[in-house]
Structure 1
Amino acid sequence: MSNNVRLRVGDRPPVLQMIPLSLQHLFAMFGATVLVPILTGLDVSVALLTSGLGTLLFIAITGGQIPAYLGSSFAFIAPIITVAAAWGPAYALGGGVAVGLVYAVVALVIRWVGVGWLERLLPPVLVGSLIVVIGLGLAPVGVEMAGLAKEQVSLMDTDVQIALFTLLAAVLAATFLRGFLAAIPILIGIVAGYLFALLRGAVDLSLVREAAWIGLPQLTFPAFSWKAIAVFLPVAAVTLAEHLGDVLVLSRIVGKDFYKEPGLHRTILGDGLATSLAGLLGGPPNTTYGENVGVLAITKVHSVWVIALAAVFATVLAFVPKLGAIVQSVPAPVMGGVTIMLFGVIASSGIRTLVESGIDFSQTRNLLISSVVLVLGIGGATIGQLGGMGLAAVVGILLNLILPLPEPEAAGAPVAERAAPAQEATEGA
């Protein structure tokens, strides 16, 4: 094992080390996971419950080979609100269950047909560009949370000071700390930022005081309507494209080809069944989280055991509102500070893919594919229900199929050859 990889996927650290490593992932996913139910009117505790259970289900289906965390999907916010307003929340949950079953059907098709067609559709120039899009497409979220997206930003602004202090603490921890502390820079940054926010009087503890110690999530069960399901299905195409990108990023960071082992059919099936489980219990659809991918890249801790414990923590929080309220009290600027680093690391991984694949941008074909994908993806272009990374992926694939190759071998190596060995893929991430 390379010195740059602290823990491989199957490595199980001691419990006292695993707890803070897992807490990093819990904090990284928490804000986005609870925001979706807040915006859609679903129960926050149920969202945490289905996030934890869905992640554990995904890990089981993929044979414990992929360190991915699943949380609430932002892509389904509009369909949930639309269907809930027209037919009621139960039918929105039914739409989520149906999406998960669509994933399962796609997984079966891939199991029968194989992934050879994906290797032809996704050359290195497209893969690298899409990874950049995933990271930079999330960038506005981190910048807004940090308070840096206002019309007039001042260093005298408390939110800005908190965000920058948190970012600085995380960067310094990742750069200068050694040993175990070097593996938890995100947690160190969040704790430092939280304490700084407390000193500045920017932490609202009212929810913590009011929350009960023990409580049961308010489970809601789905209802089904073809009209409601029809609203959800177009979004499933987008989230499937995002799933392909997320698995590619994870493959790149960990240094393994997850498309082939454990297989894309198993990753899609795990994602789909986690989404159906969420709908059955009253939670929003799930998706793999870029925030947690960023934690993997920065810490170089790829242990699936760490992810699994984070999922257990999320499940426990669903039954202990007091603890959930403490985590929820972390100010947005604190999370904004760390996400600036997390999302940037994902984008940097895409740039590394382009560089290490030896992409020749003097070739018009490569230049056009990358340019169009970056502008559509980062610019947030939308056509119908297809937008952002999903639209960029579709257009990039079409360009790859249409534009002529300068020479027979220029189509690029298959995915298996693109995933560098673990020791190479993680160096300098």
Structure 2
Amino acid sequence: MINVFQPSLGEEELDAVRAVFESNWIGKGAKVDEFERTFAAHLGVDAANVMSVTSCTEATFLAMELAGVGPGCEVVVPTVSFVSVANAVAAHGARPVFCDVDPRTLNPTAEHVEAALTSATKAVVVLHYGGHPGDIERIAALCRDRGLLLIEDAANAVASTAGGRACGTFGDFGVWSFDHGKIAVAVDGGILYARDPAHVERGRKLAYFGLEAFSGFSQAERSANRWWDIEVSEFGRRSIMNDVLAAVGCVQLRRLPDFLRRRGEIVARYDRELAGLPGLALPPRLPEGHVGSHYFYWVQMAADIRDDVAADLYRRGIYTTLRYPLLHKVRAYGADVRLPGAERAAATTLCLPLHQGLSDADVTAVVAALTETVTARSAREAS
């Protein structure tokens, strides 16, 4: 099966994990610190603004807590988002208010966000769909003007920039994922960015039981005696990263430029070889000053053939998908709203395989199969 997503792991990652095992320290330690410093440098921010956690979902939950999201609050969320975002809002007793997106970019515009604002709005969440920055500059300006917190879900956007600035750093908080399906993986794990370093300092406590300091060797070095005593400042949980995952993550960040180069080559081939195929729309080109991460490559076609095309490709050993199912259609969130742009996109969009492990032969197979099945299905519908 030619997969939609697939990690690229090898001997370098195994050597890094082996070194951690041989150190006899596999918990949170030097490798976690290195991973955080490296990613902060990648973003162009100070290490004091960045912390690692067990997953992007945990980073999102933590961002909501640090932002003061709670009962009586509303948080605007694009309906094309991952379920973890809406869960993080609802789990804190707040109400997710879903906004529409552009049917071609699948990102919200500032106008979409503004239309969903009410007097109860506390924060806005944006997703950089497929690694495209979207309307982030204008949305950030809107949030500043309205005194709203902005949380960026940059899980798709590990290397995306707008105007030379890293996506995830336009707002008050940003979150990234390093799970098995991302461009750079740490097997699992997430990063939280906060504009205010005080939020990171508090976040570190919340991610480790609310303790004022870690116990063990680090505490012993600062205390002449009774280094095992603890002090709990608030009620937290355990969601810290460990050196095993961080070691993999450090290697993957070093390899990230090569991953992005290969993904760019694949995108260029898709753009070139699928151009002009009747009935098929390719991803919109990025505006001037925007750099994407090549996370998704999505095509759009008539709604009445999309599902059949996906099934045909699957039978040929090519896995495709729709990311992401619309959140305002999920009963648990209790939304009662029509969002026509997102609904149109959800009916017509299909994400093709895109990862750095795709061979040239894989790409050729995807292009040939998609061309054949779209042409055949379109002809059948027209007859």
TM-score tier, shorter chain, comes to: under 0.3
Point out the structure with max Rg over C-alpha.
2
- Normalised TM-score (structure 2): 0.21
Larger helix share, 1 or 2: 1
